[in-house]
Amino acid sequence: MSHSSSLRAGSVFALAAIVFLSLFFTSCYTTKPYTYLQGPFDTAALSKIPVIDPIIRKGDVLSIVVYSDNPEATAMYNQSMPGTASVVGVTGPATGGSMGGGSQSANTNASGYTVDEKGNIEMQGIGLLHVEGLTRSGVKDSLDGRLKKFLLNPYYTIRFVNYFFTILGEVNSPGHVNLPSVRVNILEALGMVGDMTFYGRRDNVLVIRDNNGTREFGRMDLTKPEVMNSPFFYLQQNDIVIVEQSKKKISANDQTLYRNISITATIISIAVLLVTLFRK
């Protein structure tokens, strides 16, 4: 075999080796799916975990509608649409003489009653009502104490108007999310934003909570069933959820860089070999 033929054969072998190694190193990176709530479930214990109603805090906005067996007597305790006397809940400012000359309380607005810095609301037809620290059930008890002497079989609809959370980090749709219910847990919240990305840390989700001016931090491992015991498992109004980036994303970014370098090096090597072959 001539020297030229040997050189060409060696060059072809080197070219094949480079292509093989390039393909091997760029395809060897594999991914492993993550799941939630892994491990054995103690369903009996988990079923006993109480679901706590959220506590009312300063700055919350409450929608309160009063009903009874006598709608005419009930009307004075509900906000009504401007220019009308019909009871429509809390969709507009109060009119008429129901609050002394028809003036609306300074801490009510078109969407409900805002809890002031002292923890009070000024409710139509009742006046000051302290609600801070109460649940919705507690507010109903307070209203019963005020209204049962005036109304026949009163009952109430109470909801949070400004009930939302903010979620940031490795989720598919980060942002500000209004809560459809007062009982939304972290798994449901993630479902609302399209779940975490593949690179979100499911074992270390951070929740930042403002509790009457004190900032609280809670970390949750969503891969463990015991997370349901966490006081942060059920979100509260104004919570901030942060899903951190896992090390796998950094690794994946590095892998992409290495792959691009490898492909570039392969292309250059092939070009050099081809030039060498055809010059011989």
Express each pLDDT in 229-251 by its tens digit.
999 999 988 899 999 998 765 55
The pLDDT, as a whole number, for residue 104 is: 38
Phi, psi of 27 (to 5 degrees): -110, 0
50 vs 260, residue with greater confidence = 50
Tell me the mean pLDDT in the region 22-34.
52
Tell me the residue length of the chain: 280
Given a cut of 90, whether residue 174 has pLDDT beyond it is yes
The pLDDT value given to residue 250: 52
> Which residue from 64, 53, 63 is spatially nearest to 237, judged by alpha carbons?
53
Say what percent of the chain tops pLDDT 90. Answer: 40
Record the pTM. 0.60
- Name the CA radius of gyration of the chain, rounded: 32
Whether residue 176 is predicted with pLDDT greater than 80 in this model: the reply is: yes
d(CA 278, CA 7): 11
**DSSP letter (8 states) at residue 1:** -
Nearest in space to 51 (alpha carbons), one of 230, 206, 243 = 230
- Which secondary structure element, helix H or strand E, spans residue 49, and what is its range? none
Q: Mean pLDDT across the chain, nearest whole number? A: 76
CATH number corresponding to 43-52+163-246: 3.10.560.10
| pLDDT at residue 99, rounded to an integer | 34
Tens digits of per-residue pLDDT, 214-226?
899 999 999 999 8
pLDDT at residue 132 tops 50:
yes
Please determine, for residue 204, whether its predicted confidence score (pLDDT) is greater than 80: yes
Confidence of residue 90 (pLDDT cuts 50, 70, 90): very low
- Could you tell me if 196 and 190 are in contact, meaning their C-beta atoms sit under 8 angstroms apart? yes
| Biggest distance spanned by C-alpha atoms of the chain | 114
Of 86-95, 184-193, 261-270, give the lowest mean pLDDT range.
Answer: 86-95
At residue 68, does pLDDT exceed 80? yes
pLDDT higher for 268 or 183? 183
Distance (Å, whole) CA 270 – CA 247? 34
Which residues partner with 220 through β-bridges? 205
Q: How many CB atoms sit inside 10 A of residue 11's CB?
A: 16
Three-state DSSP class for residue 39: coil
3-state DSSP call for residue 267?
helix
The closest of 29, 18, 30, 28 to 264, measured between CA atoms, is 18
Which of 29 and 100 is assigned the larger pLDDT?
29
Looking at residue 45, what is its pLDDT? 72
Q: How far is CA 195 from the centre of its chain?
A: 10
Q: What's the CA gap between 174 and 242, in Å, rounded?
A: 9
Distance CA(239)–CA(235), nearest Å, equals 6
Please, which residues bridge with residue 243 across strands? 169
Q: What are phi and psi of 121, to 5 degrees?
A: -120, 155
189-204 mean pLDDT: 92
- Provide the CA 12 distance to its chain's centre, in angstroms: 57
Model confidence at 3, pLDDT cuts 50, 70, 90, reads low
Calculate mean pLDDT across residues 74-103. Answer: 48
Measured at the CA of 135, the angle between CA 133 and CA 136, to 5 degrees, comes to 135
Is the domain covering 61-160 a CATH 3.30.1950.10 domain?
A: yes
The DSSP-derived string for 105-146 is: PTTEETTEEE--TTSEEEETTTEEEE-TT--HHHHHHHHHHH
Query: What is the 8-class DSSP label of residue 108?
Result: E
Mean of the pLDDT values across residues 86-97?
A: 35
